[in-house]
Amino acid sequence: MGASQSLNIPGGGTEGYHILRVIEGSPGYYAGLEAFFDFIVAIENTRLDQDNENLKNILKSNIGKEVNLVIYSSKTQSVREVKITPSTAWGGQGLLGVSIRFCSFEGANENVWHILEVSPNSPASAAGLHSFSDYIIGADSVLHETEDLFSLIESHENRPLKLYVYNDDADSCREVVIVPNSKWGDEGSLGCGIGYGYLHRIPRKNRPPKPIPRPVEKDIDTEKMSTSKAPELGSTPLSTSGTTTVPVIQPSVLQATFGASKEEPLPQEVPTGQLIEPLQEVPTGHLIEPLKEVDPGISVVTPINLPGLPPLTVSASVPTSTLEGLKLDDEHNPYSPPVPIDLSIFNQSGLSSTNNSNYASS
């Protein structure tokens, strides 16, 4: 099925450099090169139909410069031009970041093995193969014929085998490690059906892969601003104008930290650039007036003598300021000697001296 016969390959022929691997982040990765499907057939109007040093020399002479590659895709069965810039500073090996092998691309789309039904608990299921949407397109060794894959599986009994698998649903390639085991519990060493031939080829894609956009480099000033450390809460920045400034905490920060109160609204936001007046300090040397001494007053003591009872004394304290404005005679002067109380009032109340003496003697 030589698909190349109807293609306009510069210089003719069916040979080229088969791309086996594309390293992520490399110039080939950002140019949109696809592993296993793409073949480099020309560079800068130079046909690459022989395995020589032409490709390497042209790339070396154009480091840092954009060059044109002519790519044949076995998936779309078409030719496209790709612009790429060889580089030694992309962070990996090689100028393009791809692994290549010189071979013929005639019938390249025929050398695929279609994964059919995958049995549960089989080696194929454990390796993550998908029924009907996965295609084995290569391995570490070259696979050209139908029996090449089956011979490779038999030689890796109970040993890890790396396969390159294309998924039609995701339109992407991946590496799969599988361990063939003929004693896994059912038929076959993989536990899946494998189809080969015209009815099991990868469906043709009409759209070629698009280049992957490079990540946008961050501006240095913008990066510094975004990574600068914010001042901690409670810190007071210094001011060269002689006025102490106080950092303003936004109401949204207070609400997120302490929660909003219905009774006490959040403080109003201070306009940008407006300074809050600092607290006024007490002048040095200014003493606070001491507390005035409390006037103890004048103690007034009055003894009470009752027959048969121990002497009683009634005392009270009267402030001096209260007594200064009063004119007291000797009878009410607190400084005069105490005057005995007339006990005749008790006789009028029904108490007699006889009862008192009896009480005292009892």
With pLDDT > 70 as the criterion, what percentage of the chain qualifies? 57
d(CA 12, CA 5): 9
Place of tokens 């000797």: 330
d(CA 275, CA 286): 28
The dihedrals phi and psi of 29, each to the nearest 5 degrees, come to -65, -50
Q: For the segment 67-84, what is each residue's pLDDT rounded down to a tens digit?
A: 999 999 988 889 999 999
pLDDT class for 139, splitting at 50, 70, 90? confident
Q: For the segment 246-263, what is each residue's pLDDT rounded down to a tens digit?
A: 455 555 554 555 555 555
Q: For the segment 151-161, what is each residue's pLDDT rounded down to a tens digit?
A: 999 999 999 99
In the chain, count H helices and then E strands: 9, 13
Place of tokens 């076995």: 74
Place of tokens 């038999």: 154
Q: What's the confidence (pLDDT) of residue 2?
A: 37
First-last CA distance in the chain = 147
pTM of the model as a whole: 0.53
The dihedrals phi and psi of 254, each to the nearest 5 degrees, come to -60, -40
Task: Choose the most confident range, by mean pLDDT, from 201-205, 320-324, 326-330, 356-360.
Answer: 201-205
* β-pair partners for 78: 73
The 172-178 sheet, strands edge to edge: 172-178, 161-167, 134-139, 113-118, 192-195
Pairing label, strands 192-195, 113-118? antiparallel
Other Cβ atoms less than 10 A from the Cβ of 269: the count is 11
Task: Pick 236 or 16 by higher pLDDT.
Answer: 16
Q: For the segment 167-184, what is each residue's pLDDT rounded down to a tens digit?
A: 999 988 889 999 999 999
Task: Residue count of the chain, please give it.
Answer: 362
Record the tokens describing residue 158, joined without a space: 């109970």
Contact at 8 Å (CB) between 192 and 200? no
Angle formed at CA 192 by CA 189 and CA 197, multiple of 5 degrees: 105
Task: Choose the most confident range, by mean pLDDT, from 2-11, 103-112, 164-173, 230-239.
Answer: 164-173
Task: Pick 308 or 342 by higher pLDDT.
Answer: 308
Whether 310 has a pLDDT exceeding 50, the answer reads yes
- DSSP letters along 13-42, please? -SEEEEEEEE-TTSHHHHTT--TTTEEEEE
